[in-house]
Chain A
């Protein structure tokens, strides 16, 4: 994910589909449960849940539905939660533009993607026009 850093080890994982609005609610609940399991502080729990909520809604609204994978990760002595979203939608043609505050291709506030990046400790976005989008966020327990 970040060059020169040893890869994180996943210990528990759960995959779910995001195809309807109710799945976004379900996704938030799943991420919160994992964040509690990884002993994230209340603030970090809320930040991760909010980031996941933004990305889940993006997956649904702009990606046309996809999957979410939540896992508890460890690197050395640190524990965290990793949430990965994947869709096979139209993809993001201009990543820099998409990550600009206030820019939205839809009707939103244009803060979801950039906000999610600020809320998470690690953020990775891979997207190819026409082939879909893969977003990963990680939040570490302090």
Chain B
């Protein structure tokens, strides 16, 4: 019974192939309103129609079966591209569903209608598949961006000979602090730097966790023999830190990065003078 119906369906789709594809392309082009060229849509849909027909002929109505492999890979590609181009999952799925609309006028007998209903289920299933792929693609994009952000937001820059700076922007969670600390310590070694400046101008709020992370970073830098200054302490941050009761101890803090740089340069100068007096240079 099921086999007869899929035969009937294949017959119907093969007979009207050219008409159906043309109407389908026309409908989809009008719904996507000029955001894709007619040529692109024509290519996508013609391939899709062919693949669907082959799959129906070989694999019947089992959309998760092997015969539908090509249809699924075409849909995956279509859905991914559309997701990257900013189409909604609805728009992608509707492109597929509109094939139903194309077939409706061609139904003449009760057998046609019954075959059409089967086909409709196939299309629903494939439509859901495009939504799945769409969601997965978006997730991939988001996690890639999150990683990029983690990398982007923690540059260690050379400010002067022997002075490296870390401009921190945004939220400091444990993962980011770890990245910052590792990068800073490595660049202290690579640049042969004696001073590090951690600038927190771009950190919106400093709570105990952030402070703890900062303190640990400073202590680690000191263990490597570098002097560490925290700059970019804005008035509201200073008041909050005092109210919280956090003590920065003997760690040098400055209001601006410029102050911190001047301080570091002066310290380097002092060290050189002391060394000269001692006759070491």
Contact = CB atoms under 8 A, between A and B. Distances in A.
Nearest to A120: B243
A114 B236 contact: no
Interface in A21-78: 21, 25, 28, 32, 42-43, 45-47, 49-50, 53-54, 57
A2 interface: no
B171 A25 contact: yes
A101 interface: yes
A83 interface: no
B237 to A, nearest CB: 7
Q: Report the contact-size class of chain A (Cβ under 8 Å from the partner).
A: 20 to 34
Nearest to B239: A43
B237 A46 contact: yes
A43 B239 CA distance: 7
A115 B244 contact: yes
Contact of B240 (A21, A46, A112): A46
Which of B171, B235, B237, B244 has the most chain A CB atoms closer than 10 A to its own CB? Answer: B244
Interface string B201-215: 000111111011000
Contacts of B212: 108-109
A45 B173 CA distance: 21
Contacts, number: 64
Contact of A50 (B171, B173, B205, B235): B205
A3 B240 CA distance: 28
Contacts of A47: 236, 239-240, 243
A50 B243 CA distance: 10
B243 A109 contact: no
A119 B236 CA distance: 12
A3 to B, nearest CB: 25
Interface in A88-123: 101, 108-109, 111-112, 114-115, 118-119
Interface in B27-76: none
Contact of B206 (A32, A43, A50): A50
A35 to B, nearest CB: 11
Given A57-B209, A108-B209, A42 B171 contact: no
A119 B244 CA distance: 7
A31 to B, nearest CB: 10
> What are the 9 closest A-B residue pairs judged by CB atoms, nearest first?
A115-B244, A46-B236, A53-B207, A43-B236, A109-B208, A118-B243, A49-B205, A50-B240, A50-B207
Given A46-B239, A54-B244, A111-B245, 19 more contacts: A42-B236, A43-B236, A46-B237, A47-B236, A49-B204, A50-B244, A53-B209, A54-B207, A54-B208, A57-B209, A108-B209, A109-B211, A111-B208, A114-B245, A115-B243, A115-B246, A118-B244, A119-B240, A119-B244
Interface of B: 171, 173, 204-209, 211-212, 235-237, 239-240, 243-246
17 contacts: A28-B205, A43-B239, A47-B236, A47-B239, A47-B240, A49-B205, A50-B207, A50-B240, A54-B207, A57-B207, A108-B209, A109-B211, A111-B208, A111-B245, A112-B208, A115-B208, A115-B246
